[in-house]
Structure 1
Amino acid sequence: MLDPIEFIHNASSISKKSMNRLKLKTNPFSEKPIRGNTKFFVGRTSELSEIADILGAAQYGSVANAAIVGTKGIGKSSILNILYYASKRHNHWVVELEASQITARQFLIQLMYGIIKDNLFSVDGTLSSDYMKHSQKIIEIYKRLSNYSDKTPVHYPREKIERDLKYLLNEVKEENKLCVILIDEADQFAKRSCLGLLQFFHSFLYEDDILTFLAGPPTMVEDLTKISPAIRDRIPKIINMPPLTKEEAYDLIKRRLEDSQITGAKGYQPFSEQSIEKIIEECDGIPRRIIMTCSEAVSLGLKNGVDEIDDEIARNAMKNLGISVGHQILNHLTPAQSKIIKAMAELGGSSTVTELSGILNNSTGTIGTHLSDIYEMGYIYKERDGYNVYYTLSKELKDVLITKEDIS
């Protein structure tokens, strides 16, 4: 009889021998936050320079709030984390928040809680000696915040919360310090329910000594402005996070491998040159995709008992994770365009506007317009055969939408 606990224990135990075969001590591809450890951080010289200029200018009275924008997995959270520690080194107040609060009141409470907990208390959990003259008031506010829930007691209304925040910023904080506020996933504020919060931001972000960085997707500032047009002039700086260059992607993998390779390992072992090339080509310069793919490839290598991770294992890793150029294209398409692409796949990868119109129950004019847009983006091809124009999926789309069984 199978003992399920014993089975899971045995199946999940990776022997030292298997790891040594891959010339690794541990799997070096972890997605854990950098948390001040920059040995795995690569590139971003121009973006870091922009941030340094913004922080430097703010220290001398020229405050310009900024948006850090880029696609998912590009490294925005890592940049915020580095900014957190850099600001701490300057002895500023720093608060890290996620855009999970949907009202100005909830945001204020989380902000104050972060200010007190992360900046006024020492590592041992006691109030720093620098703020002892304000101890009674600070402890009183902190206790009130510690008991906070989504249903804040009526005896702590927003007006009092705002007064307490102003007290912390104007009376407790030293004049030579900034209050640096880092908000990840700030695109979550781009909805009607957050209009009050964005209106509050419009005045709050204009305060002296408050420097805010909001991180989100490329359209974040535009989306926030649609909800509250006035917010645009409060975020004058936009820092775009492009994909890593090929050299930076190679460096990202190399640094992590070197940290975990056993003595005697060379180059990119256990990865073959072809597997590294494949991963860098398919992951499109997105750090999270590169790390996830490498981690999955190491796991597959251990499972298969190999001593080298070749391009086939790399391809299988990407297949398991749904990472490929084809998947990236699908994610980029609109729902209507995606339906058309999938219908083309059902027809074998090549079809006319009329054939697609029949399958999708839509007019040839609408289908034709969408196909023209997709063609302009380079995701499909077209050729004329007599009176008919055939549209054909690119190889990348065929790879993810049409299986070998479909072809046979």
Structure 2
Amino acid sequence: MLDPIDFIYNSASATKNAMHRLKLKTNPFSEKPIRGNTKFFVGRTSELREIADIFGAAQYGSVVNAAIVGTKGIGKSSLLNIIYYAAKKQGHWAVELTASQITPRQFLIQVLYNLIRENLISIDGTICSEYIKYSQKIMEIYRKLIDYGDRTPVHYPRERIERDFDFLLNEVKEEDKLCIILVDEADQFAKKSCLSLLQFFHSFLYEDGILAFFAGSPTLMDDLTKISPAMRDRIPKIINMPPLSKEESYDLIMRRLEDAHIGNAKKFDPFTDAAIDKIVEECDGIPRKIIMTCSESISIALKKGVSKIDEGIVKMAMEVLGISVGHQILNHLTPAQSKIVRALAELGGSSTVTELAKYLGNSPGTIGTHLSDIYEMGYIYKERNGNNVYYTLSKELMDVLMNDND
């Protein structure tokens, strides 16, 4: 009879031994964003210079809000996190938010809540010493904010939000400090339901001492300005994040492996040089793809009981990731959305709204609405070419759907 406790214990021990056979203490390839630890952060020299220039100018009154744009998995979240910790180190107020996890109604409330929780309250729950004289008012606002969750059907008036922001920014915050707002996945705001929120940003982002960074897809600013043209003036700076160079890709892999190596391990152990070359070549400089491929390769090697990861294992890892992720996406789509992405595949993987509407026999308006929803979920990309906007399948969907067609 199998004892489940012994089974788990023995399996865990076997995995540890197998990991040592690969000359690793642990699997060093984690998808978690960097949290103030820069030892795995590679490249981005020009982007960091641009951010440093923005910081320097903002501290002397010349505030220029910026958009950080790039393809999915390129490292936007990690860069925002670097900015967050750099801001905290300099004593500025800083707030991190992910737009896709917050409704428009909740967003401003969350900004207020996080401003207080992350910057004015100590770990033990008391007001930081430099803000003691404002403690009664700060705690009054904080207690009210705790009661306003998405599931709480209570209206937090816009006038109260504006009044509380004004108090925190103009009375509590020191003049020499910035209030830095970091918004990840900001594409979530590029829809009509967020118009009132964007209109609020028109004045909010012009407040003295506020510096904002919005991260999103390459078309983020085009999409935001379609909903609210004034956003172009409020976020005039665009920082593009290109793929890592080959040298940076090798460096990313090497740094993580070195951190997890046991004694006597060679530079890229347990990967062969050919396996590393294949990962760098196939992952196109996208950090998330590199990390996922390396992690899956290690998992396959553990299951197979081998001590070296060669090109064959890397190829298996890429196939597993492509199939599993692609099919999960398809299962998540509605029948109408699934029909559209399959049609995109049949048209070669990329098409305009007009071409798709004609191909499927639907109105451009209907097709455009579905494409916008799929795009907001991050499953397709879009790019302007002259007067036309082309929607393109993500690699995960491309791998599944194009293979199905073949």
- TM-score over 0.5 for the pair: yes
Whichever residue aligns with residue 163 of structure 2, its letter is R
CA distance in 2, matches of 1:65, 1:15: 48
Q: 2:268 — aligned with what?
A: 268
Q: How does 1:270-289 map to 2 (within 5 A)?
A: 270-289=270-289
Q: 1:366 — aligned with what?
A: none
User: Displacement, 1:160?
Assistant: 1.4
Whichever residue aligns with residue 216 of structure 2, its letter is G
Distance 1:145 1:7, change over 3 A: same
Q: 2:180 — aligned with what?
A: 180
Q: 2:27 — aligned with what?
A: 27
Q: Report the secondary structure of 2:230's partner residue.
A: helix
Distance 1:400 1:311, change over 3 A: farther
CA contact (8 A) 1:61 1:208 kept: yes
Matched, 1:339 2:346: yes
CA contact (8 A) 1:102 1:197 kept: no
Q: 2:381 — aligned with what?
A: none
Q: Gaps spanning 5+ residues in structure 2: where? A: 328-339, 350-358, 362-384, 386-397
CA contact (8 A) 1:102 1:189 kept: no
User: Displacement, 1:158?
Assistant: 1.8
Q: Report the secondary structure of 2:119's partner residue.
A: helix
Distance 1:340 1:202, change over 3 A: same
Cα deviations across residues 228-286 of structure 1 (Å, max 9, x unaligned)? 11111111100000000000000000000001111101121100000001111111100
CA contact (8 A) 2:345 2:402 kept: no
CA distance in 2, matches of 1:318, 1:12: 25
Q: 1:347 — aligned with what?
A: none
User: Displacement, 1:11?
Assistant: 5.0
CA distance in 1, matches of 2:205, 2:174: 19
Cα deviations across residues 164-212 of structure 1 (Å, max 9, x unaligned)? 1110111100111110000000000011100111111111111111000
Whichever residue aligns with residue 347 of structure 2, its letter is I
CA distance in 2, matches of 1:315, 1:92: 46
Larger radius of gyration: 1
TM-score, normalised on structure 2? 0.80
CA distance in 1, matches of 2:360, 2:84: 53
CA contact (8 A) 2:106 2:149 kept: no
CA distance in 2, matches of 1:207, 1:361: 48
Q: 1:236 — aligned with what?
A: 236
User: Displacement, 1:102?
Assistant: 3.4
Matched, 1:227 2:227: yes
CA distance in 1, matches of 2:2, 2:401: 38
CA distance in 1, matches of 2:169, 2:235: 21
Q: 2:305 — aligned with what?
A: 305
Q: How does 1:43-122 map to 2 (within 5 A)?
A: 43-99=43-99, 100-103=101-104, 105-122=105-122
Whichever residue aligns with residue 254 of structure 1, its letter is M
Whichever residue aligns with residue 180 of structure 1, its letter is I
Q: Report the secondary structure of 1:238's partner residue.
A: strand
Q: 1:392 — aligned with what?
A: none
Cα deviations across residues 301-344 of structure 1 (Å, max 9, x unaligned)? 11111110000000001111018xx99xxxxx9764411349xx
User: Displacement, 1:21?
Assistant: 1.2
User: Displacement, 1:402?
Assistant: 5.1
Distance 1:295 1:126, change over 3 A: same
Question: Structure 1 runs of 4+ off > 2 angstroms?
Answer: 1-17, 100-103, 150-154, 333-337, 397-403
CA contact (8 A) 2:182 2:213 kept: yes
Q: Report the secondary structure of 1:96's partner residue.
A: strand
Q: Report the secondary structure of 1:55's partner residue.
A: helix
